[in-house]
Structure 1
């Protein structure tokens, strides 16, 4: 896991920018981001990856269980980045998404 970069924009500012770069007049009509509360208590996050550079990219499921209310799970399912986390771990879950987007690149394909 990468250390926090004090000079980088906060995760909320970064997520807004990531979303804005996906919006091309079409993507936002079919895809998006959902952040909801769950009753255990905690958060559920779904970020659509379709028609983004991350579509179809591998992601290693991550789980951190520190206590009953401090936990984070992230995975990719059906071309969505998914996260479930405790009530105070939403920023951490989004940071894991940010790290993945910044370290994932496609291998160049054969030249035509």
Structure 2
């Protein structure tokens, strides 16, 4: 997937649900998963476990985007986890970055 809007592609939430469902094999979901929480500054944090997936050893270039006080993104992969923190309206953008990394 290219890093631009594609009106024929599923939205990031539908896509994330499908990605999660394909990882569930009777074992993976008992040890791994996806966590989305709020931050108090305000914002979001997301952790997506990559262990025992095709992505656990895929290289990822850390990203830091600072646009304004409430418009920012930090993403990285460490310890077999995709981890992101972002501003209150950037959660969809973070999921888009994750999808582009996987499919790109």
Shorter-chain TM-score category? over 0.9
CA–CA distance in 2 between the matches of 1:95 and 1:2?
A: 8
Greater gyration radius: 1
Superposed, 1:11-30 pairs within 5 Å as: 11-30=12-31
1:92: which partner in 2?
93
Number of equivalent positions = 103
User: Alpha carbon RMSD of aligned pairs, Å?
Assistant: 0.8
TM-score, normalised with respect to structure 1 = 0.90
Unpaired segments of 5 or more residues in structure 1?
104-112
Q: Deviations over 1:22-55 (max 9, x none)?
A: 0000000000000000101000000000000001
Higher relative contact order (CA 8 A, sep 6+): 2
Question: Deviation of residue 2 (structure 1)?
Answer: 1.2
SS of the residue aligned with 1:96? helix
Moved segments of 4+, more than 2 Å: none
TM-score by length of 2: 0.97
User: Is 2:9 aligned against 1:3?
Assistant: no
Unpaired runs of at least 5, structure 2: none
